[in-house]
A and B are shown apart, each in its own frame.
Chain A
Amino acid sequence: MKFRAKIIDVGCLNHFTRVVNTVSRLTKACVLRLTCDHLYFVLSGRVATGGVSMWCELSQVNFFDEFQLEGVSADANEIFLEVAPENLSRALKTAQNAKSVKIKLTKKNCPCLTLAAELPSLSSVSRVVTHDIPVDVIPRRLWHDFREPQMPDFDVSIYLPPLKTMKSVVDRMKNLSNYLVLEANLNGEMNLKIETELVSVTTHFKELGNPPWGDDGSQSSSPTHRDPDLMAEARVDIKKLQQFLTGQQVNPSRAMCNIVHRRILHLIFLHEDVSLQYFIPAVM
């Protein structure tokens, strides 16, 4: 198993760092899946995470100048590593003005992702900072746990309101209730609702627009003639929604959510070279 990669462009480095920062705010540990073309940060839904799962996909060629991978075997040319994204974040933080950043899989006391950054210095000799980030190699037999999640058979798909606005609403609602209901319809309308014994608050958003999924396989085969005003809703733990919104460092070009009525809230953020999906299970 071998992995070596190098980033030279400062813009790519900053962008990669922002993605890693976003992931590190969502979870303390995740799986880093490396293939020849992509990197994935994967969190699979478990009881421990409250059923939340995450899938973040990066197209390698948009970030790295050099990328060499030799996977577990010829027919399974991939590497799965368990890593604490915060460590990666920390390592990248001080390398933002580096001339180059090299990442490779090494073995020190344990398997590590070693990040070496060549920094500008006052002399002719560059400063070199090296970080050894301990990782766990995930054996092949467990890879199926970290497959790409299926697009759920959603009832409504809608574009999100401006993230800043949404976040400030959710922040305030969090003070009043532990759970929030997100409902939306195919008419571009979305409501964020909380209800407690003493108070109920609803914030209405209009004219958000609905993504044109068209004849995508994930929709049910019969052309759904869903009443455009009919709301699909999901009641979720407000902290999880807030955590997702707070962590965003990359401004997505497209932000949308799919709702499976009373089952799942599926949030999708798309950027040129990065896509981030986050699944929050609905609670009763």
Chain B
Amino acid sequence: MSLPLVQHYILQTDCMFAYEWLALRSVNSSRSAFACFLLSPLFFQKFQAPSDQSFRCKMPIKSVQAVFKSLASLDRSVEKCRIQLNSEKSRLTITLHCKHGLLKTHNLSFQDCESLQAVFDKESCANVLQAQPRLMVDTVLHFPPSLEEVNLSVSSDRVWLRNHVEDDSDSSRAMMTELCLSAEEFDHFAISTQTSVTFCLKELRGLLVFAESSGLPISMYFDEPGSPVILSVTDSVLEGNFVLATLSEDSNPKNHVNSNTKRPDAEQPPDDFMSDDMDSFLIAMETSELPGPSHVPTSPPPPSNNRKHSFSEEEPEEEALAEGPPNKKFCSLFFGSVLPTPSQLPNQTMQSQEVLASDSEDENQTETS
């Protein structure tokens, strides 16, 4: 098994396994970033699907990270890695077969969960860029590691990356950095609308580490501000998708965002809080009813048009719920309750059932400075 893969999960909540393909999914606490890695059976030396076809579970990513802690030492000493599911005992056993006959066995317990799938559609995005990871890495180097958000602007032949600054008294004295790249540097450059989107740089960095080590080009799909940016790496045995929310109504990247902006904190709440959060959210999915004042459209809406419509519908709800300044500019991604049929590939857009949830659970979180 290719161990480097597991090193690069950067979103810190739960990961889930699904049948047929091995799907590892994760979402951050403010639900503004979602990652999904799909591994085909060919990725592994041996792959035996569980007898119960719709198996899925979740576990804290820290437990998994603890097993695959040091990449260097793994490379040096591990010859084989075996992952075994024991559904009766709710346990995942990871056995590392190391040199000199050494066996390290890790038993991780997991919990049941509903499926987690962000609603996104790469094919309907107006703009697509594809670049070698080296280009992205070199670009991101110009920005400090602490930078939260970055703005990406495109024209017909140029791409600009700028650091994004919130509009407050401190920021007018902030250092502004802008990197301009020509379209020629990209493997693929298909821009149909000149636009500018702002998203979280930290999440991108995680994907870059993986892409660079695997040498896979990165594709970026994006639309207008408010629609998520999708970053994708693919090869014959795996597909990774990172879906990041973008700031909405960010028409001019040079202008500071409206001072009323409040966006959900991207930092980690304590694990307990998070798992409660997820559970209540997911339970609500099942029953098609959500706690609190958030609303849910009961009839399945028509596909792509509705996505835009729903985003704007969502915001008034968020305004009512947020304790601080009203406008939450970051839209949380849609999460559909998904009951995949055997014929459906897990990464397709789930249009059949769309359920909206607001960030009511995030009220307690404070704005990042």
Contacts and interface: CB of A to CB of B under 8 A. Distances in A.
A124 interface: yes
A110 B172 CA distance: 8
A129 B181 CA distance: 9
Contacts of B173: 110, 134
B292 interface: no
Interface stretch (A56-64, A87-95, A140-148, A168-176): A87-95
Given A90-B175, A108-B176, A133-B175, A121 B142 contact: no
Contacts of B141: 94
Given A94-B141, A94-B142, A122-B135, A134 B175 contact: yes
A140 B180 CA distance: 37
B46 to A, nearest CB: 40
A110 B175 CA distance: 11
A132 interface: yes
Nearest to A134: B173
A202 interface: no
A128 B178 CA distance: 8
Contact of B176 (A121, A124, A125, A131): A131
A109 interface: yes
B181 A127 contact: yes
The CB with the most chain B CB atoms within 10 A, among A91, A94, A108, is that of A94
A128 B185 CA distance: 13
Contact of A130 (B178, B182, B184): B178
B182 A123 contact: yes
B357 to A, nearest CB: 38
The CB with the most chain A CB atoms within 10 A, among B141, B172, B175, B184, is that of B175
Contacts of B135: 122
A24 B44 CA distance: 50
A91 B176 CA distance: 10
B182 A125 contact: yes
B176 A132 contact: yes
A112 to B, nearest CB: 8
Contacts of A90: 144, 175
Q: How large is the interface on A (under 10, 10 to 19, 20 to 34, 35 or more residues)?
A: 20 to 34
A128 B177 CA distance: 11
Contacts of A109: 172
Nearest to B184: A123
A122 B184 contact: yes
Contacts of B142: 94, 129
Nearest to B144: A90
A134 B184 CA distance: 32
Contacts of A121: 181-182, 185
Contacts of B176: 108, 131-132
A205 B141 CA distance: 44
A192 to B, nearest CB: 37
B174 interface: yes
A241 B200 CA distance: 40
A147 B173 CA distance: 27
Interface string A64-97: 0000000000000000000000010011001000
Contacts of A108: 176
A243 B120 CA distance: 52
A124 B115 CA distance: 47
Given A90-B144, A94-B141, A94-B142, A127 B185 contact: yes
Interface string B156-196: 00000000000000001111111111101100000000000
Interface string A36-71: 000000000000000000000000000000000000
A87 B174 CA distance: 9
Contacts of B182: 121, 123-125, 127
Contacts of A124: 182, 184
Interface string A94-129: 100000000000001110000000000111110111
Contact of B177 (A122, A127, A130): A130
A122 B185 contact: yes
A101 to B, nearest CB: 13
Contacts of B174: 134
A127 B172 CA distance: 26
Nearest to B175: A87
Interface in B67-94: none
A108 B178 CA distance: 14
Contact of B179 (A122, A125, A129, A132): A129
Nearest to A94: B142
A131 B185 contact: no
A117 B180 CA distance: 11
Contacts of B177: 91, 129-132
B172 A131 contact: no
Contacts of A133: 175
B175 A123 contact: no
A280 B173 CA distance: 31
Interface string A246-272: 000000000000000000000000000
The CB with the most chain B CB atoms within 10 A, among A121, A124, A129, is that of A129
Given A125-B185, A132-B176, 17 more contacts: A91-B177, A110-B172, A121-B182, A123-B182, A123-B184, A123-B185, A125-B182, A127-B182, A129-B142, A129-B178, A130-B178, A130-B179, A131-B175, A131-B177, A133-B175, A134-B172, A134-B174
Q: Which 10 A-B pairs have the closest CB atoms?
A: A123-B184, A125-B182, A132-B176, A134-B173, A94-B142, A129-B179, A130-B178, A128-B180, A87-B175, A122-B185
Interface of A: 87, 90-91, 94, 108-110, 121-125, 127-134
13 contacts: A90-B144, A90-B175, A110-B172, A122-B184, A123-B184, A124-B182, A127-B179, A128-B180, A129-B178, A130-B177, A131-B175, A132-B176, A134-B172
